[in-house]
Amino acid sequence: MITLHTFGPFLGAPDASPFVIKAMLLLKLAGLPYVENAATRSRRRAACCPTSRTRTSA
């Protein structure tokens, strides 16, 4: 499962970052399941978004 760390919706757009919007679109077109995880204000300031993380099964 892919976790996409995002900034969250902004002014009617699905996200404030063009990178995140592009990543969402590519994941949907590829048919890959993913989960969105919107950042809190403190994490936004740390500039850790946008990122993605893949979990693999053992």
Mean pLDDT comparison of 2-6, 17-21, 26-30, highest-scoring range: 26-30
Average pLDDT, the chain: 76
Nearest to 51 by CA among 25, 23, 29, 16: 23
- In contact, 19 and 9? CB cutoff 8 Å: no
Task: Determine the Cα–Cα distance for residues 26 and 42; give it in Å rounded to an integer.
Answer: 28
Helices (H), the chain: 18-30, 41-45
Q: Is 60 exceeded by the pLDDT of residue 55?
A: yes
Sketch the domain layout of the chain as residue ranges. Answer: 2-54
Element (H, E) at 11: none
Asked if pLDDT for residue 10 goes beyond 70, the answer is yes
In this prediction, residue 38 has a pLDDT band, given cuts at 50, 70 and 90, of: confident
Task: Tell me how crowded residue 2 is: count the other CB atoms within 10 A of its CB.
Answer: 14
Q: Indicate whether 17 pLDDT > 90.
A: no
Mean pLDDT across 18-36 = 89
